[in-house]
Amino acid sequence: MNLWRRLSRLCLAAAAGALLPLQPALSQDQGAGQYAGQWGCRYSMEPFSKNPIDTHYWEFGIILQPDSTYAMQGFYYSPSLGVQIPVQGQGRWGMTANGPRGTAISVSGQLLRQDAGWQPFEFMVTPADNRNLYLQFRGNTHMTNISCQR
């Protein structure tokens, strides 16, 4: 496996790991029905160092099903690669009262990156309203921003 694949896997795992302590058990009894449906999301990890090899973007459509499952499809991009890599994934989602700002949507599953295989895929977003979801997380090395709209 070449270096950029290893680095991108490590960065995705680090981002997921940074959010894991925030992720409680998923629950659908906290008003989840209003969030089921299709969303368009942008997920970015931008390093404080501004180093292109440490910059990562995902853009994807995700369908949150009423039965607590999800399916997503889109692309991964890093300036160090210079090309968009197709991704798809699936897993479970639910509501939690223990998000970074209270009520949040937690997504946990697997992502298939066409060039790198399967890897964990997890994130949490806070509802701004029933049409906008967001997260801004300042880690030790990266600023993570996630926004989803429908």
Query: Which pLDDT score is estimated for 110?
Result: 98
E-state strands within the chain: 37-47, 56-64, 69-77, 84-99, 102-113, 117-129, 132-138, 142-149
CATH code of the domain made up of 3-149:
2.40.128
pTM of the model: 0.77
- Residue ranges per domain, the chain? 3-149
Rg of the chain in Å (alpha carbons): 15
Higher-pLDDT residue of 123, 25: 123
Average pLDDT estimate for 97-104: 87
- CA 41 – CA 80 distance, rounded (Å): 22
DSSP symbol at 27: B
